[in-house]
Amino acid sequence: MQKITPFLWFDHQAEEAAKFYVSLFKNSSILKIARYGEAGPEPAGTVMTVEFQLDGQEFVALNGGPRFKFNESVSFVVNCETQKEVDAFWEKLSAGGQKSRCGWLKDQYGLSWQIVPTILHELASDPDPAKSQRVMQAMLQMDKLDLKALQQAYEQK
């Protein structure tokens, strides 16, 4: 068991969301489903929690009812090696959700994600402030991040 596990509160879609996320990431699976008993607060037999792994990272999803909603103060970063990978995660995770700026999106359950090419970290932290500033300016103009455009901004004279 890992030391820290993200715990995600859903109204009633914990199992549906976990299965969706597992379908998107390699090395992922549903680990365990616990159901409410006679003591409630939900009907006996309905899903209470779903333990799952996404690419080796463990999560727990809870069906806790409509008391709390996700917001952008917590998000998950998906580090992508290629534009093809950025494109795939961007489209699949935003389906039924909401696309935003700078690689951010909300999925159909309201959970925030950042779809980021791994090269961005290197380009944006270049010791040459002119290069890193050009990369940041380019990124701020994008919704889905574009590796080629970021690299062009970096290399621009």
The domain limits of the chain are: 1-68, 70-157
Q: Nearest CA to 32 among 48, 44, 20, 46?
A: 48
Q: Can you name the CATH fold of 70-157?
A: 2,3-Dihydroxybiphenyl 1,2-Dioxygenase; domain 1 (3.10.180)
State the Cα–Cα distance between residues 77 and 105, nearest whole angstrom.
10
High-pLDDT (> 90) share of the chain, %: 96
Burial class (CB in 10 A: 0-12, 13-18, 19+), 18: buried
The confidence score (pLDDT) of residue 1 equals: 77
The confidence score (pLDDT) of residue 63 equals: 96
Contact between 49 and 59 (Cβ < 8 Å): no
pLDDT beyond 90 at 157? no
Q: Label residues 129-157 b or e (16+ Cβ within 10 Å = b).
A: eebbebbeebbeeeebbbbeebbebbeee
pLDDT digits (tens, 9 = 90+) for 1-38: 799 999 999 999 999 999 999 999 999 999 999 999 99
Q: Nearest CA to 46 among 18, 74, 80, 12?
A: 12
Instruction: Please tell me whether the overall predicted TM-score, pTM, comes out greater than 0.75 for this model.
Output: yes
Q: Can you name the CATH fold of 1-68?
A: 3.30.720
The confidence score (pLDDT) of residue 81 equals: 97
* β-bridge mates for residue 58, sequence order: 53
pLDDT grade for 55, boundaries at 50, 70 and 90: very high
